[in-house]
Amino acid sequence: KAGVTQTPRYLIKTRGQQVTLSCSPISGHRSVSWYQQTPGQGLQFLFEYFSETQRNKGNFPGRFSGRQFSNSRSEMNVSTLELGDSALYLCASSFRTGNNSPLHFGNGTRLTVT
Amino acid sequence: AQTVTQSQPEMSVQEAETVTLSCTYDTSESDYYLFWYKQPPSRQMILVIRQEAYKQQNATENRFSVNFQKAAKSFSLKISDSQLGDAAMYFCAYRKNSGNTPLVFGKGTRLSVIA
């Protein structure tokens, strides 16, 4: 069974631009979560989607948004990029929402904002 | 708010030896899960071991075991017979067992394995 796939692996954008990251969950998984990883702040939760509905949201500004499609694939979008948005963005999928369902992570997308 | 603290930014171990990574957490909940994740240079977070708070028995997965001290809010990871492939960042994480709560991660411990 294929794992969680994130595209692209690397991305370089300029301050002020917007970016879209993609995540394809493990087949059969319906929940997708996004995390931001930086050296200073560590891993921070962005949001979780289940059955195309946002179930939970972290403490990030409105420039960060996401969505989930009917096939469970998810995208996250960051508008008006800032230098501080440079990070590794990790996506994780699970069979269902709820805390007894283990998360399976992808390899992440490395975003660099210049 | 729940917090997870890993007090050892870096650790090293000789191949075939045993190493213990420390983790403490702060919560007022009684029902929760604790995890250790490994992040090798490939960047993928890999679940190493999981502990349910209401289970007193410490979890074990092959060479990996935990020492879960609920009263002390301590959750350390022991790696036995260390191998070169164990070199990675290790993250301790907490998740409350109610609602759709996210994982709360510690800042990580970088483990080096010396041949």
Which of A52, A3, A5, A54 minimizes the C-alpha distance to A30?
A52
Query: Cα dist. B93→A76, B22, B100, B106 in Å?
Result: 23, 12, 15, 6
Residue B106 · residue B6 · CB < 8 Å: yes
> What is the mean pLDDT of the segment spanning A32-58?
94
Is pLDDT above 80 for A98? no
The pLDDT assigned to A77 comes to 98
How high does pLDDT run on average in chain B? 94
The pLDDT assigned to B101 comes to 84
Q: Which of A90, A99, A106 sits opposite B33 (nearest CB)?
A: A99
Q: Which of B45, B100, B107 sits opposite A56 (nearest CB)?
A: B100
Separation between Cα atoms, residue B115 and residue B113, nearest integer Å: 6
Is pLDDT above 70 for B100? yes
The pLDDT assigned to A99 comes to 64
Apex CA A68: angle with CA A62 and CA A72, to 5°? Answer: 155
Q: How confident is the model at residue A95 (pLDDT cuts 50, 70, 90)?
A: confident
Identify the three-state secondary structure at position A84. helix
The pLDDT assigned to B22 comes to 98
Beta-strand runs (E) in A14-94: 19-24, 31-38, 42-50, 53-57, 64-68, 74-78, 87-94
Separation between Cα atoms, residue B25 and residue B51, nearest integer Å: 13
Q: How confident is the model at residue A31 (pLDDT cuts 50, 70, 90)?
A: very high
Which of A43, A45, A47 to mutate to probe the B interface, most B CBs <10 Å? A43
Query: Cα dist. B65→A10, A32, A92, B59, B78 in Å?
Result: 35, 28, 24, 6, 5
Query: Cα dist. A59→A46, A63, B42, B114 in Å?
Result: 7, 11, 27, 40
Nearest CA in chain B to A99: B97
Which percentage of chain B shows pLDDT scores above 70?
100
> What is the mean pLDDT of the segment spanning A60-78?
97
pLDDT tens-digit profile of B10-31?
A: 999 999 999 999 999 999 999 9
Is pLDDT above 90 for B85? yes
The Cα of B43 is separated from the nearest Cα of chain A by a number of Å equal to 5
pLDDT tens-digit profile of B30-71?
A: 999 999 999 998 899 999 999 999 988 999 999 999 999 999
Q: How confident is the model at residue A108 (pLDDT cuts 50, 70, 90)?
A: very high
Instruction: Name the residue with higher pLDDT: A34 or A103.
Output: A34
A102 lies within 8 A of chain B by CB: yes
Residue with tokens 């990883």: A37
Three-state secondary structure readout of B5-62: ECCCCEEEEECCCCEEECCEEECCCCCEEEEEEEECCCCCCEEEEEEECCCCCCCEEC
Radius of gyration of chain A (CA): 13
Least confident of A7-11, A93-97, B9-13: A93-97
The pLDDT assigned to B2 comes to 83
The pLDDT assigned to B98 comes to 78
Separation between Cα atoms, residue B111 and residue A30, nearest integer Å: 33
